[in-house]
Structure 1
């Protein structure tokens, strides 16, 4: 199922992620980006899950969907996890530091992920939980199970953060947060909030989200790092709703910028698994050749860096459509 405003939203979110990764200091823009740029993908997952259920009248092959999820996310996760593990080991050698290959491979195999690769297993596991609930035929059982699972997930997310510092609990916590946001997405779709929100409400949501992000400070989808849960969840939710509503309003426009944004949104996994590799290569060359000029330039350097990444990722997207498509998890039409 392809919805243009969803692809546009994903495109903006993934490009903002790139921008956030190029920043070397925390600023107001960084705080705003990190307040929603990962939760929004889980919210979108919930929206699409609900829409697909309506489209298929609640009937779909759960096993096939789960296998597809594992393939499209698992293949790029492991391939680029191994690549990053090897790459960082080479950097260790160049810097005359202890080689970290073993510890990084451990992170890959235990689904902790290297850098932002943590997102893929957390997303898939949370999605599978939501899919299994949706597959229940009895409406009453489905309703009560959803309430129980969401309530437990929210309780863990809000009150058990300090107990989630061990690596396997860290994974569980990210999945739990994902489940919470997926269920929020299901509710957003159920009550047609994206379609009904007026323009003044959209602007208000954006302003409140910006203010809340500054109040809550630096956050991540990790235990003890979401700040105040009473601010974190509403901030991520209303900002996501506002951005999706804006794109919903303009999705019929034929602007060239929107076409590019849409293409990035259709290939978020490509950007997710390659951005850290490109970023570290650029930083290495910047350090060796220009004495960290991008860092010294501050926000201007970050914008220049991000502009280069956007172009580089566009080229990688084009490459990913060819013979290398399997390593990015693409499935040819007609195959499961």
Structure 2
């Protein structure tokens, strides 16, 4: 499949989000700017991811094959998660004076996809994408005659699952990881709903640049 043209404004937003994440991690937690960044930066990443998945027709990809969603997700998210997680685990173990108990809990957190530090985002995004893919594929089976009604119906279902983690209390680590992913899937769906707006803005920008180039030749 031929790669589609990059939407530069999404790259710019991604760069800005990365900068905010770095700022949030180096600031003290009692800082007002730190609290402000943490109030929106992770949902923004999932929303942006939803826009990109919509642009690349992610839901139309197969589940199991080299180019499928599971294999690609493992390659791009799970392998980096374990690679960086193991490195970070060794560094923290060294800083703890090679404390065995410290190493044990880090291995447990890494194995259960809870993550070490900020690495939790990678498996969370992986499972959130799978949930999003599954729900959207379900929409291919539950089809109303009216396309808008069908899309709205499935979008409401996807966003409504965000309520589940707030209604069910769970102390189990795996359940909490799933709940994280459910919330992430809802924000991914929100990103897909917002993507047509980005496409229109990008189209208007292209038209403006084209007209400008013609006028100033």
Give yes or no for TM over 0.5: yes
Q: Cα distance, 1:194 vs. partner?
A: 7.2
Contact 1:111 1:118 in 2 (8 A): yes
Alignment TM-score, normalising by the size of structure 2: 0.76
- 1:147 aligned to 2:147? no
Alpha-carbon displacement from aligned partner over 1:160-211 (angstroms, at most 9, x marks no partner):
4xx1343223212211210110111111124x26746xxxxxxxxxxxxxxx
Point out which structure has higher relative CO (alpha carbons under 8 A, 6+ apart). Answer: 1
1:123 to 110, 122, 125: 125
Q: What pairs with 1:1-336 in structure 2 (closer than 5 Å)?
A: 1=4, 2-53=6-57, 59-63=60-64, 64-66=67-69, 67-93=71-97, 99-136=101-138, 137-138=140-141, 140=143, 143=151, 144-151=153-160, 153-160=161-168, 163-190=169-196, 192=197, 195=200
For residues 59 and 93 of structure 1, do their structure 2 counterparts lie closer, same or farther at Cα, with a shift above 3 Å needed? closer
Q: Cα distance, 1:14 vs. partner?
A: 1.1
Instruction: Tell me the distance in 2 between the aligned counterparts of 1:117 and 1:100.
Output: 17
| Secondary structure of residue in 2 paired with 1:26 | coil
Instruction: Name 2:214's counterpart in structure 1.
Output: none
Q: Cα distance, 1:78 vs. partner?
A: 0.6
Residues paired across the two proteins, number: 192
Instruction: Tell me the distance in 1 between the aligned counterparts of 2:87 and 2:9.
Output: 33
Instruction: Tell me the distance in 2 between the aligned counterparts of 1:8 and 1:29.
Output: 21
Consecutive unaligned residues in structure 1, runs of 5 or more: 197-244, 254-336
| Secondary structure of residue in 2 paired with 1:135 | helix
Q: Cα distance, 1:117 vs. partner?
A: 0.5
Instruction: Tell me the distance in 2 between the aligned counterparts of 1:33 and 1:62.
Output: 35
Alignment TM-score, normalising by the size of structure 1: 0.51
Contact 1:23 1:30 in 2 (8 A): yes
For residues 25 and 132 of structure 1, do their structure 2 counterparts lie closer, same or farther at Cα, with a shift above 3 Å needed? closer
Q: Where in structure 1 do 4 or more consecutive aligned residues deviate above 4 Å?
A: 141-146, 193-196
Instruction: Tell me the distance in 2 between the aligned counterparts of 1:86 and 1:60.
Output: 37
| Secondary structure of residue in 2 paired with 1:61 | coil
Contact 1:122 1:171 in 2 (8 A): yes
Q: Cα distance, 1:50 vs. partner?
A: 2.0
| Secondary structure of residue in 2 paired with 1:6 | helix
Instruction: Tell me the distance in 2 between the aligned counterparts of 1:134 and 1:25.
Output: 38
Instruction: Tell me the distance in 1 between the aligned counterparts of 2:165 and 2:134.
Output: 21
What is the RMSD computed on CA atoms of the aligned residues?
Answer: 2.9
Instruction: Tell me the distance in 2 between the aligned counterparts of 1:177 and 1:59.
Output: 22
| Secondary structure of residue in 2 paired with 1:140 | coil
Consecutive unaligned residues in structure 2, runs of 5 or more: 145-149, 210-217
